[in-house]
């Protein structure tokens, strides 16, 4: 959630632009001139949302011809807070279409950073025949616990999608990994370990991984 990650979003997503194929980024015309994608200080080569605050990219995943980019976003204000997962898609990693917000805060807290994977073999059991699940692992950050000075502010939660990332269902038994004693316990990265036939999760616990 640092300025460093914000800089990475603006400078590190090479090839990510709001392109001429985007209805709000068409060639110059009276209507397009007023478009938010033609604002004087709007990055034209890197992805940026239509409005409000954004931070680091999350859950970069490819499925069936579509690249998905999720990102930290406050959809209601241009400052940090009220953190959701925004969502954009691309067929070529250059031209991006912003989608509806993917994940919103709930009783467990704000939706902090994480990762997403395609569970092609349905190892989670969350998929259906012919409908493999996209699975997102993210950190639930409790502002209520934070205000109380508690240590278990952050836990790991899961959500899944059966319609190519358009809608998401949060796992009924979240959190899937409870806080293990660290005030900073976040940013799960999940990958498939083929040799061991299992999923591995790396995450940050204060100054350790």
The whole model's pTM is what?
A: 0.82
pLDDT band at 120 (very low <50, low <70, confident <90, very high): very high
Q: Which among 110, 109, 112, 108 is positioned nearest to 136, based on CA atoms? A: 112
| Cα gap 150→105, rounded to integer Å | 19
Counting other chains too, the contacts that 146-154 makes at CB distance below 8 Å and 24 or more residues apart are 151/179, 151/181, 151/182, 151/183, 152/178, 152/179, 152/181, 153/109, 153/179, 153/183, 153/185, 154/109, 154/112, 154/179, 154/182, 154/183, 154/184, 154/185, 154/186
Residues carrying an active site annotation: 56
* Integer angstrom CA distances of residue 183 from 34, 145, 186: 45, 11, 9
CATH class of 3-205: mainly beta
Distance CA 180, CA 26 (A): 49
Taking a C-beta distance cutoff of 8 angstroms, is the pair 81, 111 a contact?
A: no
Can you give the residue ranges of every domain in the chain? 3-205
- pLDDT tens profile 9-65: 433 343 344 443 343 433 333 444 457 788 888 888 889 999 999 999 999 999 999
| End-to-end alpha carbon distance in the chain | 17
pLDDT in the model for residue 152: 96
């Amino acid at each position: 959630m640092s300025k460093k990650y914000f800089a990475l979003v603006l400078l590190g997503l090479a090839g990510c632009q709001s392109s001429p194929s985007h209805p709000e980024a068409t060639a110059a015309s009276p209507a397009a001139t007023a478009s938010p994608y033609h604002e004087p200080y709007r990055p034209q080569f890197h992805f940026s949302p239509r409005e409000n605050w954004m931070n680091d990219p999350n859950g970069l995943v490819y499925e069936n011809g579509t690249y998905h980019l999720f990102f930290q976003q406050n959809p209601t204000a241009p400052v940090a807070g009220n953190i959701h997962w925004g969502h954009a898609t691309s067929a070529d990693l250059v031209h991006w279409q912003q989608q509806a917000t993917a994940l919103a805060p709930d009783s467990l807290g704000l939706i902090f950073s994480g990762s997403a994977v395609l569970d092609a073999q349905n190892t989670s059991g969350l998929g259906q025949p012919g409908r493999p699940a996209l699975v997102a692992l993210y950190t639930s950050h409790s502002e209520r616990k934070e205000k109380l000075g508690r240590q278990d502010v952050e836990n790991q939660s899961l959500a899944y999608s059966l319609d190519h990332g358009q809608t998401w269902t949060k796992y009924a038994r979240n959190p899937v990994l409870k806080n293990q004693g660290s005030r900073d316990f976040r940013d799960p990265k999940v990958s498939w370990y083929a040799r061991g036939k299992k999923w591995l999760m790396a995450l940050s616990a204060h100054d350790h991984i």
